[in-house]
Structure 1
Amino acid sequence: MMCGDALLRQEPWFISLATIGALYSAAVVFRLLPHLALLLRRPTDLRHRYGAWAVVTGPTSGIGESLALELARRGLNLVLVGRDPAKLQDISETISKTRAVQTKTVVFDLSLVATPQGDEAMRRLQETVEGLDVGLLVNNAGVAKPCAVYLHEMDVEAWVRMIRVNLWTLTEVTAAVLPGMVQRGRGAVVNIGSGSSEAIPSFPLYSVYAASKRYPKTLDISGILV
């Protein structure tokens, strides 16, 4: 019977596979290091680095609500933008009762962007943020409905509403908030995308959604802000 060392010398394929496995493991660890460093470092003072106010779209549920609560915990005043007045009031009161920050709400049905009603709501948003030290914009609002259907199975207006929220809203809200950041020389814009734009090519039955959520990743304004 051959010993283990002799067996390894006789099987070069084993050494090749072991080498590939080691290199892959090292690559995975290398990719995780920045995330680990982010977890270990001291939290950034958001007010000092970016500004006293944050604008969050879609803050009444899910990721948007969690982000709004976390930003309030980190000491930022909030402009909350959404379509449901009652839900906006609820999240605003929750923040005001638990955190020593200010909140402002803007009722805005984002599916109406680029329509006369949407233009009026956009003016209200611009008036609300005017004069505020807005240092952070979170473009979180998104629409996933209609869900898994063929394009021809839904009225085209449903797809247009999705595109308005997922793509046009992000553009117009950013355009409304960005000039103040540029003038002050600081700020950050966070665009929330979706794994559906990465996981499967064209994402069958969700292609319009996946395409519209790819846009937040490709909209790069990093060279604008200081």
Structure 2
Amino acid sequence: MLFTTCIEHLRTQPIWFLLISSLGFFTILKKSATFLNWVFITFIRDPKDLKRYGSWAMVTGSTDGIGKAFAYQLAKKGLNLILVSRNSSKLKSVSKEFQAEFPDTQIKTIAFDFSSDILEGVKEIEEGIKGLEIGILINNVGVSYPSAAYFHEVDEQVWMDIVRVNLEGTTWVSRAVLPGMLQRKRGAIVNIGSGAAIVVPSHPLYTTYAATKSYIDQLSRCLHVEYKHCGIDVQCQVPLYVATKMASDIASIKRSSLFVPSPDDYAEAAIRHIGYEARCTPYWSHWVQWCFAGLLPEAILDSWRLSIGINRRQGKLLIP
């Protein structure tokens, strides 16, 4: 009886009302499906067996922050490590630390400053990985501005280093490992992007940094399409703030919180996403922030980001 009454009621409504009601229903259905899919991906879906890609993993920028946390998680999964960083003493220290906890893990180190001669460094990397089954590459190395600044204020050496490290470094290292992955018909490349380039429409006063991260996103997407049929999974991971030295320098973030995970917490979540989507935001609270940002008009987000950049340029600490 109730169902019949509802049908009769709908028949009496004007066509515009039915169209708007249908649109609202399908919008709610789509949003609900997106949310349920996110819950499955983030908390339920099984991670891939990373050892099936190969027995070795290479991590750039591996002596601090996210890079070190990634290397730890990969060693925990039973993979051998190639650690790449510019600081030789830190490389030795991290290598000894990991070797003590994972005595069966083989560890090689390559000291390379990505802001120096890229081609020379890539030759070193190519020599270092000869004969090794590099299954996973984590392109984590990256630099940003020392402080917020308008585009014309940024020192030439600063923005050139950002382009060289973030853009050229990721491109050349990816190119160095791809031939071996193609030969074996398996592999995974993870490029660390940034919410500064993807989540918000602009990142004023950090323009060159955000632009290089947009490049990383596009590079990853194209490589994902090019090489998926070859058994190679390419992914751009898009974190927001993580409690690292870079975040401390940029945003005065001194400790982790609900929306700012520690590197270890981020890497633990991130490792579960390797081999799946072409782009992902692995940490749950970052995804929530991304969703809320998507509800706001671009003009509001632009104004908000500009005010944050200006305050940081003036030396105000926005995040305790």
TM-score between both structures, scaled by the size of structure 2? 0.60
User: Aligned partners of 2:20, 2:174: CA distance in 1, in Å?
Assistant: 49
Structure 1 residue aligned with 2:33:
30
Amino acid at match of 2:144: A
Q: Distance in 2 between matches of 1:108 and 1:66?
A: 19
* 1:94 match: secondary structure: helix
1:46 equivalent to 2:50? Answer yes
> CA offset at residue 185 of structure 1?
0.8
Give 5+ residue unaligned stretches, structure 2.
1-17, 232-320
Letter of the structure 2 residue corresponding to residue 199 of structure 1? V
Q: Relative to 1, partners in 2 of residues 1:156 and 1:24: Cα closer, same or farther, differing over 3 Å?
A: same
Cα distance in 1 for partners of 2:206, 2:112 equals: 26
Deviation at 1:36, TM superposition (A): 3.2
1:216 aligns with 2:253: no
Distance 2:193 2:200 in 1: 15
Partner SS state of residue 186, structure 2: coil
- Paired residue for 1:10? none
Name the residue aligned to 1:11. Answer: none
1:3 paired residue number: none
1-side partners of 2:93 and 2:35: how far apart? 38
CA distance in 2, matches of 1:93, 1:28: 48
Q: 1:28 to 1:85 in 2, by over 3 A?
A: farther
For residue 24 of structure 1, report the CA deviation from its aligned partner: 5.2
Q: 1:21 to 1:92 in 2, by over 3 A?
A: farther
2:182 corresponds in structure 1 to 182
Give the Cα separation in 1 of the matches to 2:181 and 2:36. Answer: 31
User: More deviation in 93-102 or 131-140?
Assistant: 93-102
Matched, 1:77 2:80: yes
Question: Counterpart of 1:55 in structure 2: which amino acid?
Answer: M
Which residue of 2 is the match for residue 7 of structure 1? Answer: none
Q: How many Å apart are 1:138 and its aligned residue?
A: 0.6
The code of the aligned residue for 1:64 comes to G
Measured after TM superposition, the shift of residue 18 of structure 1 is: 9.3
Distance of aligned partners of 1:200 and 1:36 in 2 relative to their CA distance in 1, 3 Å threshold? closer
Q: Which residue number in structure 1 is paired with residue 66 of structure 2?
A: 63
Q: Which residue of 2 aligns with 1:198?
A: 198
Residues 139-174 of structure 1: CA distance to partner in whole angstroms, max 9, x if unpaired?
Answer: 011101233101222221110001111100001111
Percent identity (aligned): 43
Q: Any conservation in 1 of the 2:60–2:67 contact (CA below 8 Å)?
A: yes
Change in Cα spacing, 1:24 to 1:63, as seen in structure 2 (3 Å) is farther
Contact 2:148/2:205 (<8 A) preserved: yes
| Equivalent residues of 1:140, 1:191 under 8 A apart | yes
CA drift of 1:132 comes to: 0.2
SS in 2 for 1:81: strand
Matched letter for residue 214 of structure 1: S
Other-structure match for 2:140: 140
Q: Does 1:87 align with 2:87?
A: no
* Contact 1:76-1:101 at 8 Å conserved across structures: yes
Q: Distance in 1 between matches of 2:75 and 2:35?
A: 28
SS across alignment from 1:216:
helix
Residues 179 and 40 of structure 1: CA distance in aligned 2, closer, same or farther (over 3 Å)? same
- In 1, Cα distance between equivalents of 2:206 and 2:121: 29
In 2, Cα distance between the equivalents of 1:70 and 1:102? 14
Paired residue type of 1:46: L
Alignment partners' CA distance in 1, 2:138 and 2:25: 39
**Considering only aligned residues, what root-mean-square deviation do their CA atoms show, in Å?**
2.6
Task: State the SS of the aligned residue for 1:130.
Answer: coil
Secondary structure of the equivalent of 2:223? coil
Aligned partners of 2:145 and 2:206 also within 8 Å: no
1:12 paired residue number: none
SS at match of 2:201: coil
- List alignment gaps of at least 5 residues for structure 1: 1-14
